[in-house]
Amino acid sequence: MISPIQAPELHAGDALLLVDVQNDFLPGGSLAVPVADQILEPLNRWIARFSTAGLPIIATRDWHPPNHCSFAAQGGPWPPHCIAGSPGAEFGAGLRLPADTPITLIAKGTDPGADAYSGFEGTDLDARLRAAGVRRLFVGGLATDYCVLNTVLDARRSGYEVVLLERAIRPVELHPGDGARALAAMAAAGAQLLKD
């Protein structure tokens, strides 16, 4: 299990990475993560902190074509979700993204024949982070056991420090215990858990 840490000071080289906080993963969505709405207020506090500090905020989003390979009709495990341009693909209304802070948007899962749980997979996220001088990522979003897990593992493989925001993640738990196993895998990869 990940050993919890105290809230670190923010400094140059830090960025906030919001993973797939989209309507289809929130209550009422086509692939709703249980109690996912509970992550919104903790995320909003972090958004405000990063915005005030003038540090980068990046938001990934599933941006699927209607015939994406992850959908059940194409043999995938999931119902249709986050179809590009649909209301379900929009960021949750309760997520307070500041109008005066530039938000870097990363669209993933855009190829109908390729799944992409990680924000790094098939995107220019790594190049954008390096161009901005980012070395440490504070990560929250959905879901712990899929897109958060894979994004964190890729971030660690790419050499970024990762602080996982425990109050701002929730698992989908397709199989019981998936959330705990995801946390263990991220810990083994060197991610730190922040309980605040």
- Catalytic machinery residues: 20, 108, 147
Instruction: Work out the end-to-end distance of the chain between its first and last CA atoms, rounded to an integer number of angstroms.
Output: 17
Q: What does the alpha-carbon distance between residue 98 and residue 80 come to, in Å, rounded to a whole number?
A: 29
Instruction: Please classify residue 15 by burial: count the beta carbons closer than 10 Å to its beta carbon, then call 0-12 exposed, 13-18 middle and 19+ buried.
Output: buried
139 φ, ψ (degrees, to nearest 5): -120, 130
173 φ, ψ (degrees, to nearest 5): 55, 55
Q: Residue 104's CB: how many other CB atoms inside 10 A?
A: 16
Q: Using DSSP, state whether 149 is helix, strand or coil.
A: helix
Cβ-contact 121, 154 below 8 angstroms:
yes
